[in-house]
Amino acid sequence: MIDNKQHTNSYKLLVLGIGLFLTACSSYDIEKEQETETVIQSENVQQKPNQELIVIESSSDTLSRSIEADAEEKLLNNVFTSVAPSVVHISIAKQMDSTDNPRFPEGFGFGIPEEPDQFFQRGEGSGFVYDKQGHIVTNYHVVQDAEILEVSFMDGLIVRAKPIGGDPDSDIAVIKVDVDQSLLFPVNLGNSDESFVGQRAITIGNPFGQTWSLTAGVVSAVGRTLQSGNSPFSIPEMIQTDASINPGNSGGPLLDSEGKVLGVNTMILSQSRSSSGVGFAVPVNIVKMVVPHLIKTGQYVYPWLGVTLNNISLDVIQAMELDIKQRGALVIDVIEDSPADNAGIISSREFLDIASQNIPIGGDIVVGIEGAEVKTTDDLISYLVKYTQPQDSITLRILRENTVIPVDVNLEPRP
């Protein structure tokens, strides 16, 4: 306890979180079942339990009790202390043509000083140290087309970085810094296949340039499939969280309660471009799959089937006279000369007009792949990404005219 002899009626309390705004986060009731404090250790920091009692300054004569940080607060502080030295702030600059400048519409030049033909657009994001060789993982959209890359570490070190590789389909990129290995503290990678709804989710990043900020929440959903925004292909098994993610958090880690990386914070759903409690992270198991190839070759090559899919809705079930319990991925389009086209997979050729919407019906329905059941389009996309390679031969189970048939397909690299 801190003693202040000059103010006998005053007391001081160490407050763990002081900020410009207070964010409502999920809370947890820590009962007697957790009698020992979780202490997270890494090769860069060993956090010891803080048993010191510190009290809040008060002018009240009646307030005289000491308040100790609870287990939740200690856990979050331990995660931050352990992982923050592994998180970096990334500043970028890329050259833009004046025709790309959105400030003035085309032809709007009256009274405006002549602009240069080119200018630099600046941005920022987050990332984390992947290994002792200086590789840093971030989002593809953070460093895309960057001509200047600057990386800042928590200890104040600022260095230039160079791009190593990028994958627009998963929105993952790798950059590299040339610094002494003793200054690099790689993160510990978790297992996103073990993520579950309600799991504690913690982010460390640089929202709106506010460096090394921590937010906490829970895993709201798992298994989301969303387009990265950089390509027409989707990222499977994304992790949804209500932990606050804002511009500047992109590329930073989503962590579990042990400080292990669950995913890479990538996008939010929001009408205001700021956190609305619906954020998404690329699962770390995709990162484990993609990053080694980016380091080695600069790119990652996915297998390609060549179809557009829809889940089966009630309208489709009724129009195609399917069993009410039927599940699968409806093929609504097949790309010409694709592996699916060469295998004879049939796309939807009829449309159902319901509530001013044209709903495709009548195509093949994929119900299985290589012995695995396909209930939704997510199942098929996830299996292709995680368990197949270009040039693989696979067998799909197709429901066609109420009969399930096997169809062999030779996969190719994505175009």
Give me 250's structure tokens.
């992109």
Measured distance CA(289)–CA(385) in Å, rounded: 10
Contact between residue 238 and residue 263 where contact means Cβ atoms under 8 Å apart: yes
Measured distance CA(307)–CA(333) in Å, rounded: 6
Q: DSSP per residue over 14-77, as a string? A: --S---SS----------TT--S----B-SS-BPPP----B------SS----B---HHHHHHH
Measured distance CA(190)–CA(259) in Å, rounded: 9
Place of tokens 């803080």: 50
Give the type of residue at 114: E
Instruction: Decide if 250 is catalytic.
Output: yes
Instruction: Decide if 141 is catalytic.
Output: yes
Catalytic residue among 250, 275, 338, 347: 250
Measured distance CA(216)–CA(361) in Å, rounded: 44
Catalytic residue among 167, 171, 242, 256: 171
Closest alpha carbon to 238 in 259, 273, 264? 264
Give me 84's structure tokens.
């923050």
Measured distance CA(144)–CA(95) in Å, rounded: 11
Closest alpha carbon to 167 in 135, 136, 141? 141
Instruction: Decide if 348 is catalytic.
Output: no
Residue 75 sits at φ, ψ, to 5 deg, of -60, -45
Catalytic residue among 82, 89, 135, 141: 141
Give me 282's structure tokens.
């690329």
CA distances from 273 to 246, 267, 269 (A): 7, 10, 8
Report how far Cα 221 is from the mean position of its chain's Cα atoms. 13
Measured distance CA(376)–CA(399) in Å, rounded: 14
Just list the catalytic residues. Answer: 141, 171, 250
